[in-house]
Structure 1
């Protein structure tokens, strides 16, 4: 057993240098006064106070959480029926459909988002389609709808794959037993299929919500700088303004929010499984 535990040593070293150390530096910068080097420490909480006392910053945080919730709900409503259809298909059809879903993910997310700029812009494919229905002058690019569309497009596969995995593992004999006992298809879905697929739903919600709430290049490209989210704010503080201390404080606030959300999701998952946390 000791020999096998030593196999985890490279991962532990990687995690320390790539995760723990950078987060430690960000946390240190977040409580240091502006302009201080790491050698001379001068601690302060003014960066956190600045964030929570400025209504504009709180509005950006609320907007980021809101669009992440919208993205997650849309991905769930669209992804569950697709995942259900895939899980009920034959094995060869399943493999082909999963390939169709994962194939676009082989292309860089930034490139895929750039493609939406061309389709949503004036003279683009979507504008031409809307012209057929007399809606060609509708402003699509650089709006909240464009940002939401880009997020749903990029994160929807994560939801579908997680739910499809849970549905594929479900014992079909339970469905047959439910039908034999006289349950309708709706009752079977509500009492058997949906509860058994909740682990996949919860994992899908986690994989969609967390990157959506911190996304910065999708709002930047499809929002055109008009739709500012918390990820854009962090990027702006580090790259444009040069306020590393304030940017680090915002990053730590988002890290705490994400950890709290993951704890809530974990509690829900444990309660759904009817078990106890180890």
Structure 2
């Protein structure tokens, strides 16, 4: 009912402002509001002023005529930078490769059959597993860190701590990966410190553990930021009310806290899962190129093997999988946000 009233008030203010532009009504904004809205609805005025101004600006006659011109640059950029490359990849993926490695345009699904019927499908499952593990790990660690920043950290140092979270993003991910290689190397910092304690360090670099550690470190800020934003807007009184009504802490977490912050969880999961699925730098450098992931496969097909048609097919499959995952997440998010 509240949404209907707000829509009713907004429409009335919008109509009266249009009339005022045509000289049919005079006065200030408040006069428009008091003239057209019942008194018991007028308490919502402040929350509607911004939306009214936006409506009147966007849908005025002069702006409406120039609206296609204003949107055209954005559509042009999207068409050139996003749609056109995807179309080129799809066209190449249906082509063939001649004896000299050149692309011969045709209409054959052989490259897709080669991927799904050959040994390359294992690369996809391996990449999906790594992405899900990275997403789950960053979700757990990021939620704890975001919760501390939002509710436990001192307001005096909260902004500084949030800055420290995003500080690694100011440098290249390649430099951050090489920093971890320096730390985990057999002659690096961590084994040297353990040797001082008479502890023999196991092999850390070029292992699945190193790949997992590098992925979590690189993508953790992308999970923390949306979670921190979602927790910061949370009304703490809801958690207190749950406790006062006799709910256990674990019940409050799963019944109150997680549902109210589901928007941040979904946003952070998308921001981690999508780029980690195609990441090839971290697995290649910290894993020692021992295991082939989907990103490494695409890189090798384009740069090493020079099989552009098969690389385009694999890239197209990855794009469709990522797009399908994003659509599912956004559809789920629209119900809970």
> Under a length normalisation based on structure 2, what TM-score does the superposition of the two structures give?
0.76
* 1:77 and 2:143 aligned: no
Match of 2:126 in 1: 63
> Contact (CA 8 Å) 1:142, 1:227: kept in 2 or not?
no
Name the CA distance, whole Å, in 2 between partners of 1:5 and 1:164: 37
Structure with higher Rg: it is 2
Match of 1:271 in 2: 335
Deviation at 1:253, TM superposition (A): 0.5
Deviation at 1:209, TM superposition (A): 0.9
> Contact (CA 8 Å) 1:60, 1:230: kept in 2 or not?
yes
Name the CA distance, whole Å, in 1 between partners of 2:156 and 2:89: 48
* Superposition pairs of residues 1-278 of structure 1, within 5 angstroms: 1=59, 2=64, 3-4=66-67, 6-35=69-98, 41-54=105-118, 56-88=119-151, 89-132=153-196, 135-273=199-337
Deviation at 1:131, TM superposition (A): 3.0
Deviation at 1:6, TM superposition (A): 3.6
Deviation per residue, 1:47-82 (Å, 9 max, x gap)? 00000111x201111111111111111111111111
> Contact (CA 8 Å) 1:158, 1:207: kept in 2 or not?
yes
Name the CA distance, whole Å, in 1 between partners of 2:316 and 2:199: 44
Aligned residues: 271
Name the CA distance, whole Å, in 2 between partners of 1:4 and 1:191: 45
Distance 1:134 1:24, change over 3 A: farther
> Under a length normalisation based on structure 1, what TM-score does the superposition of the two structures give?
0.91
Distance 1:133 1:263, change over 3 A: farther
SS of the equivalent of 2:96 reads coil
The 10-residue stretch of structure 1 (121-130 or 146-155) with the greater mean CA deviation from structure 2: 121-130
Deviation per residue, 1:15-63 (Å, 9 max, x gap)? 111111111111110011114978x742111000000111x20111111
Distance 1:17 1:176, change over 3 A: same
Name the CA distance, whole Å, in 2 between partners of 1:184 and 1:258: 38
Name the CA distance, whole Å, in 2 between partners of 1:130 and 1:61: 37
Name the CA distance, whole Å, in 1 between partners of 2:220 and 2:290: 24
Distance 1:28 1:95, change over 3 A: same
Deviation at 1:145, TM superposition (A): 1.1
Deviation at 1:183, TM superposition (A): 3.5
Name the CA distance, whole Å, in 2 between partners of 1:138 and 1:185: 39
The 10-residue stretch of structure 1 (229-238 or 111-120) with the greater mean CA deviation from structure 2: 111-120
> Contact (CA 8 Å) 2:94, 2:105: kept in 1 or not?
no
Which 5+ residue runs of structure 2 have no aligned equivalent? Answer: 1-58
Name the CA distance, whole Å, in 2 between partners of 1:29 and 1:134: 57
> Contact (CA 8 Å) 2:92, 2:309: kept in 1 or not?
yes
SS of the equivalent of 2:149 reads helix
Name the CA distance, whole Å, in 1 between partners of 2:301 and 2:330: 32
Deviation at 1:9, TM superposition (A): 2.2
Structure with the greater relative contact order (CA < 8 A, sep ≥ 6): 1 or 2? 1
RMSD across aligned C-alpha pairs, in angstroms? 1.9
